[in-house]
Each structure stands twice: as C-alpha cells, then as structure tokens.
C-alpha cells in the first residue's frame, strides 16, 4: 500500500483551487437548470441546488484566503526569527571581536609602557588603536591566533624595529691625519742631527742653543714657594668695659667724661 501524499502547502493550495473550480461548475449547472425548469417544483429544486453550490464556493474561497493569510504569517514569523538569530549572532561576534581586541591592546600597552618613556608610549598606543580599528573589520580577525595578531600589529607600528648599532656612528667620524714622528730624545729639529725647519714655519723668537747627544739637560729651576701663613690667634673672651676700669675710675656720663 502506497503512503498518501504529504499535505504540503503547495498541495493544499492546489486542492483548494480544484474545489473552487468544482463549486463554480455546480453553480453554473444549477443556474442553467433553473432557467429551463418545466414547472415550479423543478425551478425550486434548481434554486436549492444553486444556493448549495454558491455556499460551497464561498466556503472554498474563504478557506483559500485563510490559508494564504496563514502562509504569509508563517513566512513573517520565519523571517523575524531568522533576523533575530542574525542579530544575536552579530552581537556575539562583535562581543568576541571586542574581547580579542582588548586582549591585543592590553598586551601591547604592557610592552610599550615597560620599555618606552611616556611620550613614545602614548604615540605607540595611539597608532595601535588606529591599526586595530582597521584589523577588526577584516574577515579573518577572529580566526587569526592571538600571537599572530600581536606580532603583526607590532610590526605595523614599529615595535620590532631594531635600533641602529653605535658602531655605524663611530665609523662615520673621519680618522685624524697621520702625525709625523717626533725627534729622538736629546735632539731638536734644526739642530743639525735630524732635519731643518719645515717650509712655511715660523722660527721661535728665542731659539734654544743646540745641544749634542751627550749634553746634560739642566733641570728646570723651581720657583721659591712662600712660607705658609701662620694660623689666626684664637678669639679672646668678651670683657665688659666697666670691668676694665682701674680703681677710682668710672664710666663717662653726663658730666663730660
């Protein structure tokens, strides 16, 4: 035995359409019989049949309209449910994006405030916020691991840039020109043993006498050092002037002393 067909909305709609067509046919036939009725009894029977066919047609049309309204209501409910699910999924996604963004921001903030001064740390944090605002709109933001996001953001704002070595600055300084070797001990330029004065040089206003290799160099005369200053005498105790008077003397007053 074959299973009956499932009453899907499409099949129900088709059945109601067939019923409406059958009822319409009955109405037409009853109307024609009423027109050709031979007597009053046949006319009355045709009238009752016509009224019954019209009633069935009206009920069929009413069922079709109610069925259509129910289908529209179901479609609206399904659409509203889908929209609610979409909004809930979007809220959940935004919450997960914000949570992940805060974790990346907090990690970078700990790095810059520990390794940089206040001004540089503020600049890095501001640039990181701008870059994070762009990253959260990418489709793979939630799928990207947290470590990969931190490394990518650090590269974008320049946290992983290595400072230039100090040796490069040292190599940029020009080397001093080579100096001529000084004459041997006991000899002087222009004394006859090494070389004469170079061209363009100015002679010393008081040239020293030339000495040979065996001459003894006199020791410089030291200036006489003044003897140290004697220490200051200790302060004397204070004695009132009236105690310094000899016997018979008195302090000058208004008498002209």
Q: What is the pLDDT of residues 166-215, one digit of tens each?
A: 444 444 555 556 665 555 544 444 444 444 444 555 555 555 555 544 45
Q: Is the dihedral of CA 46, 52, 57, 58 positive or negative?
A: positive
Burial status of residue 137 (CB atoms within 10 A of its CB: 0-12, 13-18, 19 or more): exposed
Spatial CB neighbours of 211, under 8 Å, sequence gap ≥ 6? 186, 188, 191, 217
97 close to 142: Cβ distance less than 8 angstroms: yes
**Alpha-carbon span 98 to 129, nearest angstrom:** 12
Give residue 168's pLDDT: 47
Closest to 129 in 3D by CA, of 109, 159, 99: 109
Q: pLDDT truncated to tens, each residue of the chain (257 aa)? A: 576 778 888 888 899 999 999 999 999 999 998 888 888 888 998 899 999 999 999 999 999 999 999 999 999 999 999 999 999 999 999 899 889 888 888 888 777 777 777 777 777 777 878 888 888 888 888 888 888 888 887 887 776 554 444 444 444 555 556 665 555 544 444 444 444 444 555 555 555 555 544 455 555 555 566 677 777 777 777 777 777 777 777 766 644 44
Give me 249's structure tokens. Answer: 């003397």
């Amino acid at each position: 035995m074959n299973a009956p067909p499932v009453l899907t909305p499409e099949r129900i709609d088709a059945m109601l359409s067939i019923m409406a067509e059958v009822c319409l046919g009955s109405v037409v036939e009853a109307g024609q019989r009423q027109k050709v009725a031979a007597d009053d009894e046949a006319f009355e029977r045709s009238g009752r049949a016509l009224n019954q066919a019209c009633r069935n047609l009206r009920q069929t049309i009413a069922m079709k309209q109610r069925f259509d309204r129910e289908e529209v209501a179901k479609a609206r409910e399904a659409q509203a449910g889908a929209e609610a699910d979409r909004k809930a999924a979007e809220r959940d996604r935004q919450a997960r994006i914000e949570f992940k963004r805060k974790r990346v921001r907090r990690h970078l903030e700990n790095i810059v405030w520990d390794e940089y001064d206040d001004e540089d740390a503020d600049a890095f944090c501001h640039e990181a916020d701008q870059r994070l605002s762009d990253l959260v709109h990418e489709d793979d933001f939630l799928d990207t691991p947290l470590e990969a996001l931190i490394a990518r953001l650090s590269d974008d704002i320049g946290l992983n840039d290595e400072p230039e070595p100090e040796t490069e600055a040292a190599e940029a300084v020009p080397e001093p020109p080579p100096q001529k070797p000084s004459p041997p001990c006991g000899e002087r330029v222009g004394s006859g043993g090494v070389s004469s004065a170079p061209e363009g040089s100015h002679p010393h206003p008081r040239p020293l006498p030339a000495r040979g290799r065996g001459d003894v160099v006199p020791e410089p005369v030291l200036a006489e050092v003044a003897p140290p200053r004697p220490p200051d005498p200790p302060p004397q105790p204070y004695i009132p002037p009236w105690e310094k008077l000899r016997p018979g003397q008195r302090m000058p007053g208004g008498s002209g002393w």
